[in-house]
A and B are shown apart, each in its own frame.
Chain A
């Protein structure tokens, strides 16, 4: 008790000093705070500025083509750089067909993977499996393309395409010589690339479904699959749809892997074996060689269309995911 007593007295003196000190510092720290605030605001504004810049550059770059062809640009199928006649229909068609083909294959697989990881697999397998599927998303697109050229395409040419044309040839979608390279190869490689995106979102929204839902369904005597179907998937369906649409966004804008295997021919063919062309790959292939302002402008207009479509798709997807996860306590709030 003797110790603190003498200390207490100087403390009072010190505290009065402390009171004056912040008052003296207050002015300078206010200025420093202000500068810091403005600097951070500037970084934040950079994000706005970049999106603004993207929109401005795409709009101003594509003006020439817009004035020359108008809305018809997207409904014409002639692509003739020599005579400066440009229509984007084959590219729009190629992008849509390859992306939907990819979703057709990827969605069941991705949902299966997500269901297995969140609901079925033993606990010790959960982490490694989730990590491995994430790894699939980390592989660069050019490496998928390389693999597709030298492994997937020969496989398709030798086994896959002859098999399809023998048994499903009557549909008309699997006709013609099996080049290997073409719409089907592009769809498959895209499917491999979008699976991790769809499955990670699906996992996220499935985890957001409260466990009481599962317990309630199980208590009614459901089997595990019935529980997953009625208790989990049905509650998470909007979010899963959001994940699928997010995957679509990725597939629409994917460039390198598709460019390497789709064949790059601006044609609209019914058969999935035939080579095609996508919006992203025509930009990748022809942009640096585009001679003439109209040619360049047409390519930028394709870029603008791609930008607008992916933005709409992404916003829609985020909204859908948000409708499922909003109820759960957000990860980000401490």
Chain B
């Protein structure tokens, strides 16, 4: 028996030449090097954000509005609030429509017409954000006559809807049909089953989709350039130009003033912390979600 074992191992080892083995090692090394090369900028971006940003974050930065160039101090409070305001408007429109479209696709759209909507949602997902900005400008800004928070919200809502619709659909389809049948068997109507049973079962998954869409649009700048436009002061009116964190970062980054550069880094740090927080929350919800059993 031991002889056969050595014989087979010899047989297996012999045909692999030095050349093939070294090619194999080189490929492994190259793949590992690619990982390092990709993680390098990630580390550099986060490192610089913390390194440059943390020094400029203080109470004034979080509570005051920008000061004129040359004056020390001032903050981005209005931009942070403005971003929240615009995102609230966007979510108010995008989340219900997105979830509704997802429900339609999962529960009623298993046919040719559903495929058309599914395809259109994927098309919408690929539209460049700057083009969405043009359309929001044409629809809202031109009819209102001026830039506004509403226009920014509409632009971001258009970007949220396809993501939310497709993830909601995927999550609803994960709910086993037996659950729906059980509800029908108890005499529950279809709409009630969908809302209280199917959607309820898939809640964590649907929330994941919403958070993903939220994280995706939270840092968007291009569609806000000529919709929300930006503002140096507080604004709580839905039809007035509004500041946004991402817009403020952009304006400050391309300005020639050192003081503004520092504030841009601080704003960027706050923005990235919010987004990473949202994305991590999604991962935790997704990994511990109720749907794990249904999978």
A141 at the interface (CB under 8 A from B): yes
B246 touches A47 (CB 8 A): no
User: Which of A192, A195, A306 meets B128, CB within 8 Å?
Assistant: A306
Q: Mark A136-166, 1 if CB is under 8 A from B, else 0.
A: 1011111111110111000000000000000
Inter-chain contacts of B264 with A (CB < 8 A):
146
Interface size class of A (residues with CB under 8 A): 35 or more
B32 at the interface (CB under 8 A from A): yes
Inter-chain contacts of A141 with B (CB < 8 A):
219-222
User: Which of B114, B126, B194 meets A311, CB within 8 Å?
Assistant: B126
B294 at the interface (CB under 8 A from A): yes
**Interface residue stretch chosen among B1-9, B36-44, B56-64, B67-75:** B36-44
A43 touches B100 (CB 8 A): yes
User: Which of A61, A116, A303, A333 meets B34, CB within 8 Å?
Assistant: A116
> A64 CB to closest chain B CB, in angstroms?
13
A47 touches B31 (CB 8 A): no
User: Which of A132, A150, A195, A253 meets B129, CB within 8 Å?
Assistant: A253
A260 touches B250 (CB 8 A): yes
B130 touches A253 (CB 8 A): yes
> B114 CB to closest chain A CB, in angstroms?
8
A331 at the interface (CB under 8 A from B): yes
Inter-chain contacts of B229 with A (CB < 8 A):
288
Looking at B34, B131, B170, B253, the one whose CB has the most chain A CB atoms below 10 A away is: B131
Task: Identify whether the interface residues of B are mostly helix, strand, loop, or mixed.
Answer: helix
Inter-chain contacts of A145 with B (CB < 8 A):
250, 253
B226 at the interface (CB under 8 A from A): yes
Chain A: CB-nearest residue to B216 = A138
B121 at the interface (CB under 8 A from A): yes
> A211 CB to closest chain B CB, in angstroms?
19
A104 at the interface (CB under 8 A from B): no
A112 touches B28 (CB 8 A): no
Chain B residues with a Cβ closer than 8 Å to the other chain, count: 102
Q: Mark A4-40, 1 if CB is under 8 A from B, else 0.
A: 0000000000000010011001000100110111011
B31 touches A116 (CB 8 A): yes
**Interface residue stretch chosen among A49-57, A79-87, A167-175, A268-276:** A49-57
Chain B residues 106 to 162 lying within 8 A of chain A, measured CB to CB, are 107-109, 114, 116-117, 120-135, 137-139, 158, 161-162
User: Which of A18, A50, A143, A283 meets B45, CB within 8 Å?
Assistant: A143
In the complex, A287 Cα to B221 Cα: how many Å? 14
A47 touches B101 (CB 8 A): yes
B207 at the interface (CB under 8 A from A): no
B84 at the interface (CB under 8 A from A): no
> A262 CB to closest chain B CB, in angstroms?
12
A100 at the interface (CB under 8 A from B): no
Q: A44-B104, A47-B117, A288-B225 are in contact. Are A303 and B131 (CB under 8 A)?
A: yes
Q: Mark B174-211, 1 if CB is under 8 A from A, else 0.
A: 11110000000001011110100000000000000000
User: Which of A18, A48, A61 meets B187, CB within 8 Å?
Assistant: A18
Please give 17 more A-B residue pairs, beta carbons under 8 A apart, in addition to A54-B132, A136-B41. A33-B191, A40-B108, A61-B134, A109-B38, A112-B35, A132-B39, A136-B42, A139-B272, A140-B218, A141-B221, A150-B261, A221-B15, A224-B28, A229-B27, A306-B128, A307-B128, A334-B176
10 closest pairs, A vs B, by CB? A140-B219, A253-B128, A112-B34, A43-B100, A36-B191, A314-B126, A29-B189, A225-B27, A116-B31, A44-B104
